[in-house]
Structure 1
Amino acid sequence: MERHEAMPVGIIVQKRRIDHPWQEWSWEPVGVLPWAEQGVRWRLLTEEPDRVRYHAATMTVSLYRSDTEAYVANLETGAPAIYVGIREGDPEAEEWDYEPSFASLSPYEAQDRLDSAEEIIERLELPPAMLEWLEAFVAAHHEDEAFVKRRRDRVDVDKVEDGRGDPRIRQVSDVFRAPTGRKPQ
């Protein structure tokens, strides 16, 4: 079996008119197309007066054998998802304010990217074809790891070291010595 599998996925981005004093349009990822055609850039899908949807780009979603724990966490949510991100594009571009930046089936990767606040990340419903692909990959590669509690070193705590301290410190000011109530002379 392969340690790594990949699928080309089309990213659907929606441009929606909003009522806001500083911004006319809102951009957001709204869907994915499994096994999409490669090389597509901003193909118009639907156009309505206040909403336009594009097949913005085709990206590769990869599954790695080392990340199966994250995929299991995604499947165990009850509503498996694909995480898609877009970020601001080239300011010189006239039409496209945002560009697709990533697509992943790992909720851990999505959380890492959310920390930066540089991307708009959406959790989208996983299409049935991708769900079957993910489940088959996890079934073939995931191995539960048993939790092993770390064992501490055995230390003899019953040792008696009365009167001993750091030999570099004068005995009258030794922090390890019990106070006697007498002042040093």
Structure 2
Amino acid sequence: MAKAASQIKMPVGVIVRKTPGVTRWARWSWRAVALLPGAGPADWQELRREGETVEYHAATLPLSLWADETEAYMVNLSDGQPSLYLVLRDELKGETPLNAVLITASPFEGQDYADTGEEIVEKIPMTEGLIAWVRDFTLQHHRDEVFVKRRRDKKRIDLVEDGKGDARIRQDTDVYRAPRRVLQ
């Protein structure tokens, strides 16, 4: 019996739409709108233009699935709309203000990047083919972890009162009293 690979990869193209901004402070609004499974390499290749709205094939990134992350993929697949999470960095290089860094199927990893506040995380709905690909890998590798309740040890903790009160106080009556300054 052949052992299944613990990691698989697929190149996924990301479509980003540039629309005119609605305020004077934001000239353009950038939004990831679609995915291209199995896409070839691209670097902000213009796909379509309608007036001032432009769609770009921004990048093609490897989508990696790991056997250890199947719990996260199960959470994603059980969502109403399974999605991939695109991590973008705000780096101005030429005409492209965003740099596509990572694409992941793990909502936990997407949340980790969103928590830093340094990156922009876009949630992009998966195509039917991507959903099937992620589901097949997840079902092949997912193992439910059995909950094991931790048992208390039998050590008695009520016998010695180490560290109770302030060591600078030399009396047994009020161990919670603050020490006084010695006047000379």
TM range, normalised to the smaller chain?
A: 0.7 to 0.9
Match of 1:20 in 2: 23
Deviant stretches of 4+, over 6 Å: none
Unaligned runs of 5+ in 1: 178-185
Aligned partners of 1:136 and 1:23: how far apart in 2?
A: 42
Distance 1:90 1:140, change over 3 A: same
Deviation at 1:142, TM superposition (A): 0.3
What per-residue deviation string (whole Å, max 9, x for no partner) do you get for residues 140-178 of structure 1? 10000011111111134686x8xx989xx89x713699x
Match of 2:80 in 1: 78
2:41 maps to 1:43: no
Q: Secondary structure of 1:97's match? A: strand
Aligned partners of 1:175 and 1:142: how far apart in 2?
A: 60
Residue identity opposite 1:103 in structure 2: I
2:145 maps to 1:145: yes
Unaligned runs of 5+ in 2: 176-184
Larger radius of gyration: 1
Match of 2:181 in 1: none
2:100 maps to 1:97: no
Deviation at 1:89, TM superposition (A): 2.2
Aligned partners of 1:165 and 1:70: how far apart in 2?
A: 44
Structure 1 vs Structure 2 CA RMSD: 2.5
> Which of 2, 6, 17 is residue 3 of structure 1 equivalent to?
6
Match of 2:58 in 1: 56
Aligned partners of 2:31 and 2:173: how far apart in 1?
A: 64
Deviation at 1:85, TM superposition (A): 2.2
What per-residue deviation string (whole Å, max 9, x for no partner) do you get for residues 105-134 of structure 1? 000000000011222212111111110110
Percent identity between matched residues is: 38
Number of residue pairs aligned between Structure 1 and Structure 2: 169
Moved more, 58-67 or 43-52: 43-52
Residue identity opposite 1:87 in structure 2: R
Match of 1:116 in 2: 116
